[in-house]
Amino acid sequence: MSLPPPPAPGWSLQLVAAAYRVQTRLNRLLSDRARRRGWTTAALGYPGYAARGRARVRGRLLLAPAGTDPNARLDIPGWRRLLTLEQPHGEIDVSLGSTRVRARADEAGLIDLTVPVDLPPGPGAALLHVDGRPPVPAPVHVAAPDAVRGVVCDIDDTVWITGIRHPVRAAWRTFAGNGETRRPVAGMAALLTSLAAAAPHAPVVYVSNGPWNLAGPITRFLARNGFPPGALLLTDWGISPRAWFRSGQAHKRASLERLVLDLPGVRWVLVGDDGEHDPEIYRDFARSHPEQVAAVALRTVAPMGTAAPAGDERVGAVPVVRAGDGTALAARLDRWGVLPVPVSSGGRRRRRRPLRPRSPRRAAG
């Protein structure tokens, strides 16, 4: 018995597919023209992570004028960073330690490569080898083999102020501003630094729906404002074969699930904000992986002129705390015993029992 043919896609899906084909042909046309003008393949290296004999190396292939370095474009407006010519399906060599492998970019020019290699804990770097250009470093943050605590942190309205609830203001900061014009969320650098100090070489991963084009400004912003270094897991903007916009929620959920596979022994503190979907995503992850979530910390993004609400709840046994900035979140996490033992002004560690909120509200589920 033969199966009936699958239903034909709806007109909206057909329109998306047609727009994707137009975008692909336009990019191919522009790339061919750029090559005729002497542009050649170049690489950008993005911060990745490593643990347990495996390293995740991230980068991107694009076209750039011969003799220029796209990594040297500093502090230009965000809209200019989106004007790049990626090289789909390009191939390069990637070396890390004594290992050298061949990598192939995806349709957006992105490199996402897992390299089997043993590395000492701490900062490292892979090298992206492009013919005719110097090797490009891609930082790799190597977690300790016995790491049991890590940090996952959102960026927009968690690390730096975007104002995502005000679309016009958020768009202006994203497209017209640069890393120098951004302001950090108060107390968040100190909070993440304290969480990362729970053990040597604890993994820190920044997960955002922002585009990979902003990886450079984000990395420099983190370093300039005292945030702990870590891997970046960003996304690609633009039309996909089946949607006008790629799903930010799907990106974050998939990133968290990948971390479970790559670092199965780590319990994560998930840090985000309530301006978009972080509360739902983090709660769902805590329900499905309660043994791998130590706590959830959510910055409350309050309307201008109003006080940010604060409070505690639980998802099963996982504490969920809310407050208006990093300092207030740290105080609430400290009550749950999530932060490392505080250090007194004299430099000696104080022993103290973590306090429990008297009657925390339990989240549904």
State residue 358's pLDDT score.
Answer: 43
**E strand or H helix that includes residue 252:** helix 248-262
Distances from the Cα of 98 to the Cαs of 54, 127, 138, in angstroms?
13, 11, 15
Q: Is the pLDDT of residue 360 over 90?
A: no
State residue 178's pLDDT score.
Answer: 56
Q: Find, among 275, 200, 42, the residue nearest to 136 by Cα.
A: 42
DSSP 166-225: SHHHHHHHHHT--TTT--BPTTHHHHHHHHHTTSTT--EEEEEEEEGGGHHHHHHHHHHT
pLDDT in tens, 56-78: 999 999 998 888 888 777 665 55
pTM (2 decimals)?
Answer: 0.82
- Between strands 267-273 and 293-299, the pairing is parallel
Instruction: Tell me the residue length of the chain.
Output: 365
Mean pLDDT calculated for residue range 198-207: 94
Q: How confident is the model at residue 126 (pLDDT cuts 50, 70, 90)?
A: very high
Residue 277, helix vs strand vs coil: coil
Least confident of 112-126, 227-241, 276-290: 227-241
Position 303: which residue type?
P
